A and B are shown apart, each in its own frame.
Chain A
């Protein structure tokens, strides 16, 4: 079971600012989903290897080489805020930092 305190903790980990109504709603809905998922615990998987991808391909490498992207402007045009050649964000450290 997941309670509203855990929902708040998970929302913080996920960087989601939930409303009070959402917290209540998600507590109920997450519980019903997790309750449904609970049926997996009845399966014996002690000797089973996990599958991370359905079709395994291994040792895919490429040369670690810089490639210049031709259209910097197209990237910056999507930026919510920008200054010079930088993406601009709110101040991270305070003046004493």
Chain B
């Protein structure tokens, strides 16, 4: 059952007011935050004022939309006018955006109630949310473990029911990997389907905003609200947005769906428990009528090395703007050069500096062809692998992550091993495809396992239908962590 529809029913049947629903979530946040630390900013006053407006509309007998009065949490790299936006970085401490991002504007117009801004890896660079300059977020299923990243705060908040829905951003897996670690649904749309205007840029050719939710239908509802052309983003696609929920009805099966298993994602490095859960899921999809075949994406394994040239290169350029001049931190006022170098040295954390260094090196004179241009060419090969695969199947399937959530501190001193946790998600961003992670089981320790489905360009509907059919046939989404 869609949580959004359930809350909407409570509102329209006047079982609970929007203020009561909002107060309920705020109280839950207050109870859980000392151990979870999902939120960087909580906007309680703003949320209650907005909830009152929705209640007045209901009292006046006005029809309200599905998202009106629904609380939401926003990743702290989405600019929110008048509300601090830090990207979990010291360099943006105290930054109050003078404008609103397109996605948050659209959601606010739809009547959602922003509860606050969620923790993340600094500038969305990381896979565990440990790179936040402010706090470490716990995984609600085991607080000694990471929630994944970089949208770890959003994933943990949804899993722990601190909010019914949240937004994240995904550059190499930053929605899907934390969704898998926290046992929720995470959707990365086709590149260009959702406007990036007001999303603080990390790697512009890869970044996409998407929802983290409890159910597939909730993800479809949120996607419908945020997708669509925006003249403020020159990479925004001018396409019609369907009602993504209209086919998601009980009884939906996978008859006639061709599903391709990416064989390269099984084997060395894959946790046997994840392997078993994903294979069980494949059998379940077959019993729902799907025609399953195994196929090969030979360049898939080059995704991580390609990404760790392209993303840092774009980041080194995008993050040049943090120079202490117009906003954020200024660490030194002695000379112009000292202002730049000391502001950036003080304001950025280790992982951000590391990626700026890699990117600057890869783009510097004499190395550009060997690294950046080479990576862009391999990106073409990876894309061609997917294009070939989609000639014979509708949806591709693989694990979202090679393991379940790892322990806090386990990988912080080994950047490369951290990067490898995004092995399965990164190639999808390089090809710009839509992809979704949903729960498909638990390991022996009770940690959630994620199943990744990948669709062809703009085939979100197909992706959501297969995910919905699987979700309705399995119990995983009904389980919640004990906190």
Contact = CB atoms under 8 A, between A and B. Distances in A.
B336 A89 contact: yes
B376 interface: yes
A37 B334 CA distance: 39
Interface stretch (B255-263, B324-332, B404-412): B324-332
Given A13-B364, A51-B376, A78-B95, A18 B325 contact: no
B380 A51 contact: yes
Contacts of B236: 57
Contacts of B61: none
A15 B333 contact: no
- Overall SS of chain A's interface: loop
Interface string B341-377: 1101100101001101110110010000011011111
A16 interface: yes
A30 B357 contact: yes
Interface in B33-88: 81-82
A78 B308 CA distance: 32
Given A48-B381, A50-B376, A52-B205, A33 B415 contact: yes
B345 A16 contact: yes
Contacts of A80: 324-325, 327-330
Interface residues of A, number: 51
A6 to B, nearest CB: 8
B250 interface: no
B360 A10 contact: yes
Contact of A18 (B237, B323, B345, B374): B345
A2 B379 CA distance: 24
A66 interface: no
B334 A17 contact: no
Contact of A51 (B335, B357, B383): B383
A54 to B, nearest CB: 2
B447 interface: no
A17 B344 contact: yes
